[in-house]
Amino acid sequence: MIEVIKHGQTKFKATCTNCGCEFTYELSDMKPLGGIDCPDCGNHVVHQGFGNNNGGLYYPPNCRDISEVYDNEIKNCDYVVNAGVSWDNLNPLYTSSSKEAAIDMARHLPIECVEVVYSPCDNWNVDEIVWSNRR
């Protein structure tokens, strides 16, 4: 039987880069594409996740089984869009079962550092960057 000793982080603190507002939020407050809107000015603030992951894909293990339903068929979300304010601090914002959809989403994010990683749910040893806006 699994017994939780201590639950993980559920509340996060953010500072708006536009107006300087400091606020807290929970994962349930986040927008579908990741991040949160500043309560003062409405500027999109990137969710900084569970700490610095040094650019690697560190998706919380219990979230790796995310799937989508298309035409009554369940598909694993093997593509992850990571984004952040620097390449040393990327966090997963969006998952997709489609490479094209993930890349399209990544291209439209107003964030400096964005990459799409192929990380199949059935092989956790694979993390292949398939698109990046790194120059």
* Model confidence pLDDT, tens digit, residues 89-111: 888 888 888 899 889 989 988 88
Q: Give me the amino acid identity at 101.
A: A
Of 80, 85, 94, nearest in space to 113 by CA: 85
Whole-angstrom distance, CA of residue 47 vs CA of residue 77: 20
Q: Is the pLDDT score of 133 beyond 90?
A: yes
Other CB atoms closer than 10 Å to residue 68's CB: what's the count?
Answer: 14
Q: Percentage of the chain surpassing pLDDT 70?
A: 72
Tokens representing 36?
């949160």
Distance CA 104, CA 51 (A): 26
Is residue 41 predicted with pLDDT exceeding 70? yes
Work out the pLDDT band at 57, boundaries 50, 70, 90: very low
Q: How confident is the model at residue 40 (pLDDT cuts 50, 70, 90)?
A: very high
| CB-CB contact of 12 with 26 (8 Å) | yes
This model's pTM is above 0.75: no
Q: Which residue has the tokens 């799937």?
A: 67
Report pLDDT for 130: 93
- Using CA atoms of 61, 78, 104, 44 in order, give the dihedral in degrees to the nearest 10: -10
Find all residues with CB under 8 Å of 72, minimum gap 6, and list them. none
Mean pLDDT rounded to a whole number for the chain: 75
Contact (CB, 8 A) for 92 and 82: yes
